């Protein structure tokens, strides 16, 4: 019950920290409330819709009624399992755009510009092109995290990329390389047919060392003695105990649970803490604020040929896919089926992409419900940099109580304009010759939904979270009153306490958040160990030469 470092959360960043700290010879205890990630529901990539809808693996959080989305309460899955959200996510691997990280540095996160973080992305990766091209000079080859590409054998994957080019957009052979902008293959954290979560990549190797162990318990609060974090109070087996930290405590509990734990520990907006009877140790008004997410729509088309995944969407088909995966780790079960992607700019004057596409050769929701039309395909599309901001606050001082999550989605006029634009640009792509042989009609929104008011009504009823919450413990300058941690991840106003997960992002990055969350774990590990950061990179990313005057 004592170690050099105590980490709360065995998720993307927590597993990474455990690996790097244990590798240095330090002793590490990781506190995780969830249980084992063993079994096909998590380890089979194609089964991704199951774990994020299972109470066994998910905290089950939902937003408060969203006033701009017909007062719907949106799901906010967070992994409650070894591997955290990397064990229940869609396994899509996106670093983010270079300008995302340069913006972080401009906002006070010095040392987190793209030149600074690219070496950490390379250190964590073990990238495999699998004969599908790529940008090898920009990728890592020796890291713990295997990154691969699906076989892209369904002709719809190629049709999506061709249609983008026919519409006048760029192609990119590697959106994680020099050129994010364009249409091309999608990277996935899958290795030898298995989900390659942070648990498989980092935690299991760390646990082979005698100096690293996992405690299954609910973290209740950080113990702070005279301004210094000295341990973590946990609840397990009906007993309250303390795990002592000789050097530091690190919160890596997610952008929902990390701010909750800070507030439970007396660090946060003083008035809000006092309302809940919590003694204020550090008045940090930014704790729980700055909540951001990606919202998305599924633009679905009915297929004129029976070539989509729907032909396997029955008990026999699923059983055959499952058996092939179980015995051979091959076949459709060995891919997340997100094998083509795109990043585009919404208009001239936008310097780098602000719209992302995931393409899927089936019309289906994240909860596994197939479209009534049967054979179909869809593009998940949404804006990357919404100006809307929300919050995470305490519902109760009881550690078991779920926090209050208010995303405040679609709260600005820009959000509505951006979504209308997303729908119209997507329709244009599906209308290209590459899809002529495959499209029967538009399932949703439906050809009759055309005016701004009709599109807005569709967005209000059908927009869903892409499950990328972040920003609630924002990183910034120590003198910034809204910042929660400094550029080394240290909680401002408390010694020996850090945060290392997606909650420290000053602004959301382009794309899915698993890769930058792992990168945060890699970089903060060096800060914890007092090591010099990796030397910055001189690589220059590609920007569209006509971005000021052309949308594509």
**Active site amino acids:** 468
For residue 512, count other CB atoms closer than 10 A to its CB. 27
By the 8 A CB rule, do 166 and 434 touch?
yes
d(CA 261, CA 258): 5
d(CA 301, CA 290): 36
**The dihedral sign for the CA sequence 17, 18, 23, 25:** positive
Which is nearest to 297 in space by CA: 383, 180, 387, 181?
383
d(CA 302, CA 294): 26
d(CA 105, CA 525): 19
Tell me which DSSP letter residue 251 carries: E
Instruction: Calculate the CA dihedral of residues 25, 29, 30, 32 and round it to 10 degrees.
Output: 160
d(CA 351, CA 528): 35
By the 8 A CB rule, do 263 and 272 touch?
yes
d(CA 390, CA 296): 17
- Burial annotation 184-220 (CB, 10 A radius, 16+ → b, else e): bbbbbbbbebbbbbbbbbbbbbbbebebbebbbbebb
d(CA 145, CA 252): 18
Token output for 431: 């209308």
Residue 254: helix, strand or coil by DSSP? helix
By the 8 A CB rule, do 457 and 410 touch?
no
For residue 379, count other CB atoms closer than 10 A to its CB. 24
């Amino acid at each position: 019950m004592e170690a050099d470092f105590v980490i709360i959360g065995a998720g993307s960043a927590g597993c990474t920290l455990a690996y790097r700290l244990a590798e240095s010879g330090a002793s590490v205890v990781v506190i995780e409330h969830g249980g084992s990630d063993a079994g096909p529901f998590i380890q089979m990539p194609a089964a991704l819709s199951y774990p994020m809808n299972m109470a066994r693996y998910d905290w089950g959080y939902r937003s408060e009624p969203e006033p701009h989305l017909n007062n719907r309460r949106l799901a906010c899955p967070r992994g409650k399992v070894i591997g955290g959200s990397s064990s229940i996510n869609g396994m899509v691997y996106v670093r983010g755009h270079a300008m995302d990280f340069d913006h972080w540095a401009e906002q006070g996160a010095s040392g987190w510009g793209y030149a600074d973080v690219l070496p950490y992305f390379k250190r964590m990766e073990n990238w495999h092109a699998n004969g599908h091209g790529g940008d090898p000079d920009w990728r890592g080859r020796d890291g713990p995290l295997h990154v691969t590409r699906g076989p892209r054998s369904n002709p719809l994957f190629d049709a999506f990329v061709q249609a983008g080019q026919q519409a006048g957009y760029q192609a990119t052979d590697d959106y994680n390389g020099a050129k994010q902008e364009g249409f091309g293959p999608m990277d996935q954290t899958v290795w030898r047919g298995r989900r390659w979560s942070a648990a498989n990549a980092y935690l299991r190797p760390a646990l082979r060392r005698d100096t690293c162990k996992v405690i299954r318990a609910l973290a209740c609060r950080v113990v702070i003695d005279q301004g210094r974090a000295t341990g973590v109070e946990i609840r397990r087996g009906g007993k309250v105990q303390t795990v002592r930290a000789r050097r530091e405590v690190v919160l890596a509990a997610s952008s929902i649970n990390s701010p909750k734990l800070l507030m439970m520990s007396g660090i946060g907006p003083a008035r809000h803490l006092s309302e809940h009877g919590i003694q204020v140790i550090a008045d940090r008004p930014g704790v729980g604020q700055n909540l951001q997410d990606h919202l998305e729509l599924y633009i679905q088309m009915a297929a004129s040929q029976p070539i989509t995944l729907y032909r396997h969407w029955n008990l026999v088909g699923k059983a055959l896919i499952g058996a092939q995966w179980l015995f051979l780790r091959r076949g459709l079960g060995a891919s997340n089926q997100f094998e083509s992607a795109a990043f585009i700019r919404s208009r001239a004057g936008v310097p780098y992409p602000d719209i992302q596409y995931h393409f899927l050769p089936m019309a289906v929701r994240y909860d596994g419900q197939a479209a009534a039309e049967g054979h179909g395909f869809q593009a998940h599309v949404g804006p990357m940099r919404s100006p809307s901001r929300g919050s995470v606050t305490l519902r109760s001082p009881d550690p078991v109580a779920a926090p209050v999550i208010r995303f405040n989605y679609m709260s600005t006029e820009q959000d509505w304009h951006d979504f209308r634009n997303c729908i119209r640009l997507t329709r244009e792509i599906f209308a290209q010759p590459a899809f002529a042989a495959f499209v029967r009609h538009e399932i949703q929104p439906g050809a009759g939904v055309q005016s701004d008011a009709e599109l807005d009504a569709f967005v209000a009823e059908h927009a869903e979270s892409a499950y990328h919450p972040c920003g609630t413990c924002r990183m910034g300058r120590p003198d910034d009153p809204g910042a929660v941690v400094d550029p080394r991840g240290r909680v401002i106003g408390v010694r020996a306490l850090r945060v290392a997960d997606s909650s420290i992002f000053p602004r959301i990055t382009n794309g899915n958040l698993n890769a930058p969350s792992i990168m945060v774990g890699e970089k903060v590990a060096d800060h914890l160990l007092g090591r010099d950061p990796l030397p910055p990179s001189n690589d220059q990313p590609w920007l569209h030469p006509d971005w000021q005057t052309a949308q594509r």
